[in-house]
Amino acid sequence: MTALERINNLIGMENFKKQINLMDKQIEYIKEKMAQKGMSNFTGFKVFIGNSHNGKKTAAKLFAEFLQEKGIIKNGYIIIATSNDFIGEFIGQSQAKTKDLLLKALDGVLYIDEASLLLQNERTSFIEREIMDTILSFMYDNYERICVILSDSSANIKKLLENTIGLNTKITHYFDFKEHNG
């Protein structure tokens, strides 16, 4: 069974399924047009909006397989991380931990659960900026080879976008899981 078929078999998540099916219909045309311009709009940043425990991680795993089956990314694997996976114990360590996670996800998907915690923890704002700057810089250099999914509630995603200069212009797709409650 393909990833698209498994996505369509998910219970609920009608908005997500509708967007993925639309993407599937447009993907070959868009891949051809974007290839002419030397770029792809299927990698890069995606946002999964919804409350906890509503199937976003399951959907992300299938989305990674879908991207791989469509030739958008080389591998259908996904690295799932939380803010704790990025934050180091001393200045400079957060940048190294962040880059390590990004390198592990290269040619695949990095899923950041509760992404707003990267900017709402008790550490200094320098560390938070260091993490987001590292992610943005890495994405700039490797845009065609990685998909980063930022996952959180609608209110928290809004805060994240407001507090991270330039991030909102990098997001190519928003997926809303509000109607599915687990």
Which 3-state string (H, E, C) describes the chain? CCHHHHHHCCCCCHHHHHHHHHHHHHHHHHHHHHHHCCCCCCCEEEEEECCCCCCHHHHHHHHHHHHHHCCCCCCCCEEEECHHHCCCCCCCHHHHHHHHHHHHHCCCEEEEECHHHHHCCCCCHHHHHHHHHHHHHHHHHCHHHCEEEEEECHHHHHHHHHHCCCHHHCEEEEEECCCCCC
pLDDT band for position 122 (cuts 50, 70, 90): very low
In a domain, 4, yes or no: no
Q: What is the mean pLDDT of residues 129-149?
A: 89
In a domain, 149, yes or no: yes
CATH number at residue 165: 3.40.50.300
Instruction: Tell me what pLDDT residue 41 has.
Output: 56
Number of domains in the chain: 1
In a domain, 86, yes or no: yes
In a domain, 48, yes or no: yes
Q: Which domain holds residue 77?
A: 42-176
Average pLDDT, the chain: 86
In a domain, 14, yes or no: no
Does the predicted TM-score (pTM) go above 0.75?
Answer: yes
In a domain, 3, yes or no: no
In a domain, 28, yes or no: no
Better-predicted residue by pLDDT, 162 or 65: 65
Instruction: Tell me what pLDDT residue 117 has.
Output: 84
In a domain, 90, yes or no: yes
